[in-house]
Amino acid sequence: MPTDPDPSGRVTISNDRANLSKLQQALERFGQQHGIPVKAVNQLQVVLDELGSNIIKYAWSDGGRHELSVSFGVSDGAITLEIDDDGAAFNPLDAPAPKPLRPGDRPRPGGVGLHMVRQLVDAMAYARIGATNRITITKRVN
């Protein structure tokens, strides 16, 4: 399985959470190659971990081996991440925001990740293309 970006800049991993570190390393490299500010790279690392771990957790229910892939692009002062998986259709834009807290309640973890993702990116789009979920993230880095 390739762990380095292929010529199109796409990195593919199998659906094991430990493999998310390969995406993390690829994004780190991409950021260094393109001189992207560390803070923006770190914010995208959070985004990638949230979306990648969600896919690994929920996209496939058969317990089998599957793949997800990410491509990294930069143009016009913005980074674009495109995350593809062939799991169950899921639009993260439809995920509900975390429930408002009652006074004295401690927040529950559910929904926090996607809530953070929405605040960390400038645009997020979802498309179901045949049997593929594609999430496209754009973040300005100027």
Residue with tokens 């949230």: 50
From the list 63, 64, 77, 109, which residue makes contact with other proteins (rule: CB under 8 A)? Answer: 109
In degrees rounded to 5, what are phi and psi of residue 103? -55, 135
The answer to whether 61 contacts other proteins (rule: CB under 8 A) is no
The answer to whether 115 contacts other proteins (rule: CB under 8 A) is yes
Q: 56: closest CA among 84, 15, 117?
A: 15
Min. distance of Cβ 27 from other proteins in angstroms?
Answer: 12
The answer to whether 66 contacts other proteins (rule: CB under 8 A) is no
* Segment 36 to 55, residues that bind other proteins, using CB under 8 A: 39, 42-43, 45-46, 49-50, 52-53
Min. distance of Cβ 36 from other proteins in angstroms?
Answer: 15
The answer to whether 96 contacts other proteins (rule: CB under 8 A) is no
Structure tokens that stand for 21 in this block: 């570190």
From the list 2, 6, 17, 89, which residue makes contact with other proteins (rule: CB under 8 A)? Answer: 17
Min. distance of Cβ 47 from other proteins in angstroms?
Answer: 9
Structure tokens that stand for 16 in this block: 């094991």
Which residues of this chain interact with other proteins, rule CB under 8 A?
Answer: 17-18, 20-22, 24, 39, 42-43, 45-46, 49-50, 52-53, 98, 101, 106-109, 112-113, 115-116, 119-120
